[in-house]
Amino acid sequence: METWYISNGDEKSAKENDWVISCAMNRPMIDDVIFNDPATIVFWDDGTKTVVKCQEGDVYSKETGLAMAMLKRYMGNDNTYNKEINAWLGENE
């Protein structure tokens, strides 16, 4: 699959595009997934795993669990993704 990025021509955009392309080319692929309510566990082809759990009061969803595990892994496999989501939703105020 070929991906194209549009830059407005400035240096910052070019650097950001290089980062996006690098991340896309170097991202791990899923080897296996275990759906075990309330957790979703993803095993990656680089030997790592990512675990996400449904929060109290939420309804378990395989699709949401997989999406959150992918987001978590692609944002550093720590709680960075959760902080970012909460910041944009205004839940840390």
Tens digit of each residue's pLDDT (9 = 90 or more) over 3-48: 555 555 555 555 555 655 555 567 889 999 999 999 999 999 999 9
Residues of the domain holding 59: 28-89
Task: Say if 44 falls within a structural domain.
Answer: yes
Provide mean pLDDT across the span 68-77.
91
Tell me what percent of the chain is helix, strand and coil, each rounded to the nearest 5: 40, 20, 40
> E strands, 7-89, where?
30-36, 39-44, 49-53
Q: How many domains does the chain have?
A: 1
- Lookup result for tokens 């902080």: 83
Other Cβ atoms less than 10 A from the Cβ of 39: the count is 14
Least confident residue range of 28-42, 51-65, 70-84: 70-84
Task: Say if 13 falls within a structural domain.
Answer: no
